[in-house]
Amino acid sequence: MTIVGAGSWGTTIASLAARNVPVLLWAREPGLAERISTTHENPDYLAGHSLHPELKATASLPAAAEQADVVVMAVPTHAFRQVLAELTPHVRPWVPVVSLAKGFEEGTNNRMTEVITEELPGHPAGVLSGPTLAKEVLAGLAAAAVIAMPDLSVAQRLQSLMRTSLFRVYTGTDVIGVEVGGAVKNVVAIAAGMADGFGTGDNTRAMVISRGVAEMTRLGVAMGGDPATFAGLTGLGDAIATSISPLSRNRTLGVQLAQGKTVDEVTRSSRMVTEGVRASRASRELAEKFGVDAPIIGEIDAVVNEGRTPREAFRGLLHVEPATEGEAG
């Protein structure tokens, strides 16, 4: 198996899968690849955590791609197509490609499996997602995710490569639902973080998560997802983990915005990606395209991309008329 992207999550999945199969991890920096292979650590993203001793890394994308029987894409959405295009000439024809990224492509608003299908037509394209904060998973705390592929038998084969006794991998075929849930939960987590940053209570947090998941569900169903998916691990489950955890970068962004920092100040303070910034714009545009009512998504996009203040957004949301629960607002 080849994992492309040696950030927090790619390294974690690579270390887990190395218990089951030989894994080659592609890191952009040769020094980091060397360090992972020799000292079994990734000090740039997961300092203090030991990686599986059999895990090997390389900085050569062709070498990583040529030997792959499965390609797992662990670079963020902004780099996804470019890195995929670079490895495309080196990937054998039948190889499945799995996305770990949670977001939409900037500009096109495509899901990552749509990007895979455009760049590598004919390859099975799927997604692994769920409430899986990397540091907890790597520390060996029990967690669960879903691998969704159009063909269930391919998902089952990949499940056996990725699962461990503590990392429970479920299978599914609702690729659209899993991808939309993974992207929109980042927007919900920013909103929940803002509420926490204002010092609101647990009822408020539950309101934000539930109404955020209602927007995720309306959008995901309009895009072709199965309604049941949004109540599962990759929808509500991930929205809860990301909205309550101090480890979440999206929640942290929300907290710090509410405390007066700017998006630039927060995102520049860490080399790690905060996907919710791009996902809010894409989710808002998709909601408009599909005629879906999505007030939380709209307000979060206005804050992170248009300079609206968190307080104005919070007040704006409190002015939305509470409608029939399943329908709007």
Ligand X SMILES: O=C(CO)COP(=O)(O)O
Binding site for ligand X (CB under 6 A): 102, 131-133, 186, 189, 238, 241-242, 248-250, 275
- 305 marked as part of a ligand binding site: no
Work out whether 212 is an interface residue with ligand NDP (CB under 6 A): no
Binding-site member from 1, 2, 3, 7 for ligand NDP (CB under 6 A): 7
Smaller CB distance to ligand X: residue 171 or 242?
A: 242
Helices (H) and strands (E) in the chain, counts: 15, 8
Smaller CB distance to ligand NDP: residue 74 or 176?
A: 74
- Residue 269, number of CB atoms within 10 A of its CB: 11
Residue 329's Cβ-side half-sphere holds a number of Cα atoms within 13 Å equal to 10
Among ligand NDP, ligand X, none, what binds residue 131 when CB lies within 5 to 8 Å by partner kind?
ligand X
Q: Considering the complex, what minimum distance in angstroms separates the CB of residue 315 from ligand X? A: 25
Smaller CB distance to ligand X: residue 189 or 194?
A: 189
Q: What is the DSSP string of 143-159?
A: EEEEEE-SSHHHHHHHH
Among ligand X, ligand NDP, none, what binds residue 241 when CB lies within 5 to 8 Å by partner kind?
ligand X
Binding-site member from 70, 75, 146, 219 for ligand NDP (CB under 6 A): 75
Work out whether 26 is an interface residue with ligand NDP (CB under 6 A): no
Rounded Cα distance, 141 and 130, in Å? 14
Smaller CB distance to ligand NDP: residue 101 or 255?
A: 101
Tokens standing for residue 21: 């199969």
Q: What is the DSSP string of 290-322?
A: TT---HHHHHHHHHHHH---HHHHHHHHHTSPP
Per-residue interface string for the shown chain with ligand NDP, residues 35-74, x marking contact by CB under 6 A: ---------xx----------------------------x
Rounded Cα distance, 53 and 68, in Å? 20
Q: Considering the complex, what minimum distance in angstroms separates the CB of residue 237 from ligand X? A: 9
Element (H, E) at 252: helix 249-258
State the catalytic residue, choosing from 56, 185, 261, 289: 185
- 185 marked as part of a ligand binding site: yes
Binding-site member from 96, 103, 193, 212 for ligand NDP (CB under 6 A): 103
* Contacts of the segment 116-123: beta carbons below 8 A, 24+ positions apart: 116/73, 116/84, 119/81, 119/84, 119/85, 119/88, 120/84, 120/88, 120/91, 122/93, 123/91, 123/93, 123/94, 123/95, 123/96, 123/97
Work out whether 5 is an interface residue with ligand NDP (CB under 6 A): yes
**Local structure of 144: helix, strand or coil:** strand
Greatest CA separation for the chain:
59
> Known catalytic residue: 289?
no
Q: Considering the complex, what minimum distance in angstroms separates the CB of residue 59 from ligand X? A: 24
Which listed range, 49-57, 155-163, 271-279, 315-323, lies at the site for ligand NDP (CB under 6 A)? Answer: 271-279
Residue among 226, 225, 251, 227 at smallest CA distance from 238: 251
Amino acid at 282: A
**β-pairing, 71-73 with 2-4?**
parallel
- 132 marked as part of a ligand binding site: yes
Residues shown for the chain:
329
Catalytic residues, which ones? 185
Residues flagged as binding site = 8-9, 28, 45, 102, 130, 132, 134, 185, 238, 248-250, 273, 275
Which residues contribute to the site for ligand NDP (CB under 6 A)?
Answer: 5-10, 28-29, 44-45, 74-77, 79, 83, 100-103, 132-134, 272-273, 275
Residues flagged as binding site for NADPH = 8-9, 28, 45, 102, 134, 249, 273, 275
Residues flagged as binding site for sn-glycerol 3-phosphate = 102, 130, 132, 185, 238, 248-250
